[in-house]
Structure formats: structure tokens, C-alpha cells
Structure 1
Amino acid sequence: MTDKQQDLITEDTVEQESRDITATVGGILQAAREAKGLTIDDIAGRLHLRPSLVRDIEADKFDGISSATYARGYVRNYARIVGADVSEVMACLAQQVPSEAEPAMQSFSRKTTHQARDSRLMMVTWLIAIVLAALLVLWWVQKSTMSTGIDLSRPSAEEVAAAVELGATAAGEPVVDTAALADAPADMPADVMVEETAVPAAIEPTTDASSSNPPLSADKQPAEPSETATASTADAADASLKLSLSGDCWMKVTDATGKVLINGVKEAGRSITVNGTAPFNLVVGAPQVVTLQYNGENVSLADYPAGKVARFSLPLE
């Protein structure tokens, strides 16, 4: 081998190495495109890309491509269209755009997505818990308000009616006289002070015909029995009873003839006036809510305990 041939081989090797060092993806593709006589618009049309993106590839600008995977796909198809060496182009691309950065980026993006989803789920869970707690507090407040407004010391209309139907005797309630109740000491237990009152009818004294009393003179003779009975009946028929209610109350009122004047539950705010033959028999379920007048005079029911059924007769003796 002559010195001249050896020099030529050396120049070719240096030129090849120089080309390998300076070769880039953009330069290889641009040279191949121009050798084919194609324009940038022709390549953009075949790759279905914007012409500006093709110019970026030939200028080795890959920042405008969303991922390295897309960049490799565009470059591979570009090389096939212009007839460039695909292996050489892809090797240059591997040096210019490292592929190992992509999995790390995808992993970070996937992790960020999961964290964002978990955060939204946690926020929704806390929101539901707060709403349920607020509803529970609201329900409790409403329940407490409703319970506070109910007077538990007063029996309901149903309880009063049931107690009256059963009767004080069946329930084991003792019967006392009104006078005895009024004279009861202040320290007497409440369960002994029963409100039922039984006022015995007045007993007319009888006069024996054989009595030793001297006969009355003509001017001192008593009135005829028929006239006395008629007058007493007339006076009794004039009796009136007025009841005013500050609350719902079950009551029953009958007169001396057995006629039922009032019977049933009466609403708060009502004022009821009845006339009949005295004495009146009264059964009052809630005496603490009743204001009573007999023939225009007030009758106090303060001695009857709340929550007890009051039974008494009017007029009181």
C-alpha cells in the first residue's frame, strides 16, 4: 500500500467519525427530505402534523412534543417517508432525548393523580360526616324544645277518661268529705289528700205524732208540705254553674235529677255555663286548669292536687 492510499483511508475514517459526532436527528431527516425533493408541508401532510412541528424536529427542538414516546413515533415515521436509516436516526434520538426520563415522569404524574383523587374522596367523606352531625344536633335541639313545652305534671285527656271510667274505688282511691279535706293539716301527705268528695244529702228531722210536744196554735202552723217542696224545688232549679278552662280538661257534670249537663274533653279557653237542679255532682280531670263559679260565687279548687281526678258536689256544706 502506497502512502497516498494510506492517506486517503485515513481521511475517509476521520470524515466518517466527524460525521458521526456531528450528526443529529434533525440534520439527517432534513438532508434526506431535500434529497427526495419534498417540502416541509409535504412531510406535515403525510405525518398529519403542523408544519411548525416538522420544523422543530428538523431543528432538534423536542420540547414542543408532549412526551418522548410521541417524539420517537414522529421521528421513526419521518425517517421512513424520506428513506433515511431508521436505526441511525433512532440512535441519535436516544442520545438527544433519553427515554429513561419518561417512566419516572409517568410514575410521578400517576402518583399525583392518585393523591388528588384520594384528597377529593376524603373531603367528600368529611363533608358528609359534618352534615350528618349537624342534622343530629338539630334533631336533638328540636326534641328538647318539644319536651320542654309539655307539662308532664298534667294527665292527658285519655288518662283522665280512663281513670274516670275505672272509678276512684276500683283504683283504690279513698273517698273523703270536702270539709275533712279543708281541715286537713298542712303537713298531710299529698297521696292522702284525695280530691273525691261525697256530700251526703241533708236529712230532714222526723216528728213523731205521739211526741210530748204541745200542738202549735193555728197561727203558728207550718206551711203546707206541698208548698214547701214546691218552693225548695223552685230554688234548686235556679242554681247555675260556670266553668272557665285555661287548659284542656275532661269533665262530667250531672244535676240532682241525674241529667248530664257536661260530658267529655273541653278545650282550653272555653267558658261553659249550665243551669240545673242542685246539688251538682262534678268529676274534673284537671282541676288546676278550671275556674269554677256556683251561682255567681267563686269556688276554690286549690286544695285538689294537680294530676288527680277531682270528684265533689256543689253546693258545699
Structure 2
Amino acid sequence: MSIGNSPEDDRPSDDRLDRPDRVADGPDHAADAIPADETRTGEQQAAERPSIGRVLQQARVAAGQTVDEVSSSTRVRIPIVHAIEQDDFTRCGGDVYARGHIRTLARAVGLDPAPLIAQYDEGHGGRPPAPTPAAPLFEAERIRSEPRRPNWTAAMVAAIVAVIGFVGFTAFSGDDGDDGSKAVAEGSTPASTKPAEKPKPTKPADPKPDPSDSAIAGVPRDKVTVKVDAADGRSWISAKDHSGRTLFDGVLEQGQDKTFQDKQKIDLVLGDAGAINLYVNGKPVENEFEPGTVERLTYTKGDPQAG
């Protein structure tokens, strides 16, 4: 009988030899068993998707258009086009205007705007609630009927008729005087004859101001006055004074209008500029805004002209 382990105990068993190999091979086989696509999360897949600005820029280049050409065709200012192509939407003035600019630029370069709008909503918390109707506070700002002004047109017509009548009367009187002088000459030869004096031309009446000028004169010169008229359809508008205080934020139905005044400037945002007629400091502002376009305008006492 011997003390200690037998030689057979010192030999490694099959289990001991196989186990390290299985352990070593186990992690590799487990990693191979998981498909690589399943390890990617939805956030990673979204991160690999091209950004809105990148898609618009590539589509513009593929269409052979420059930023200036896109800006001219869409009426979106050049700095805003550059900012959107760099995925900077802060210059758009809010989510509503950002969506409108994205939609306009996508159509200009031949893209479907719906996927880009959906991608924008995913990154900016979805679509905002519909604009609330105008608060009763602004009902007091409805344009008041202007006081009746003198009818300068009728006054001008009356003055012209008076001048014509006076000239005609003077001409007939001069003819009668010539006949009398001829009668005297036939009866006796005067020592000296004086030619009949011609009537002195009367000073024309001072021209009356044009009706449009008189209407402009009724507008306060120390303030800027802007009238917004939804003549061709309903439109959402926003108006602010020089300090940034909101004067109006709501929808004008077709046929409605609003008038705003400030001592320095009025900032406007028109949701559908093609449906709006503008009057600044009493003068109509001619525009070529297309229906559905969003416009941001600023007017001062020296206008009408877009800021």
C-alpha cells in the first residue's frame, strides 16, 4: 500500500482537456450567433439617415441650381437657405415657418416634402397646436371709419370752370371794344390812337392736392401706420411693435382687415402673403407674393418699402 496519489490521478481527464477548449470557443460562437444588424438600435439607424439640410443641398446640386436661384424662385432669403442646408432652423422664426421653408425648398428642387417634414417633427417634438383665434383684446383695434374730408376734386373742377368762364368773358369784352374803336375811326380821325389793351392773364388758382396725397396727409407723420387687408383669402398674421410686443397673432378671414400703428416700426409675419393687400402710411404696397408663401416684413415711417 502506497501513500499519495496514483499515477492515474495525475493524468488529466478528458473532461479537463475539453473544458478549456469549450470555454475558449464559447464567447466566439456566442458572438457569431447574434446577427450584426440586430445589435444596432433605432437611434443609431436614425443617426445614419442623412439630415434634412444635407438632403436639400444634394437635391439642389443635382438639379443644377445655385442658392441664389433657389432663393429667387422661392422668395426665401439667401441667409435662411444657407442656414437650413446646415440644419440650422433658428433663423426661420419658429417651427411653423421652418416647416413652410422646408416644404417650399423641397418642391423647388424636385423633392417630396412629406418625409422631410416628418423627419423635422421627429427631431422637434411633433407639430404644434393650431393657432388660437384672436383674443377679444384686439377687437378694439379694428379700423375705425375715417372722418369725412373735403372733396378736393369738386373744388378743383369748380375753380377750373371759373377760370374758363372768366377768360371767355374777357375775350368777348375785348371784341366789343375793338368794334367801338373802329366806329370812332370811321367818323373822325383821332390825333392818336392807342391799341386796345389786352386783358391781363389771370393768375391760375393754386393747384389742389391730389386725393391720394390728401389721404396720405391724414396719416400721422410721426408714426408708422400699416393696414393689412385679407382681400383674396384667409391668412394667419402676426404683428409686433418696435419693442417686440405682440400687437396681433391670429387669423384674418377673407374680407377682414387690421390696422397697426407704432412710433418707430411694425414687424409683420404673413402666413399666406399672396392673399394679403398692404397699405403703409396711406400708400398701397405692390407685391408679387405667391399664394401659400410665408413673408417676414418690417415697415418704418419712411416706407412703403419692405424692411
TM-score range, shorter chain: under 0.3
Bigger relative contact order, structure 1 or 2, given CA contacts below 8 A and separation 6+? 1
Q: What is the TM-score normalised by the length of structure 2?
A: 0.27
Structure of larger gyration radius:
1
Q: What is the TM-score normalised by the length of structure 1?
A: 0.27
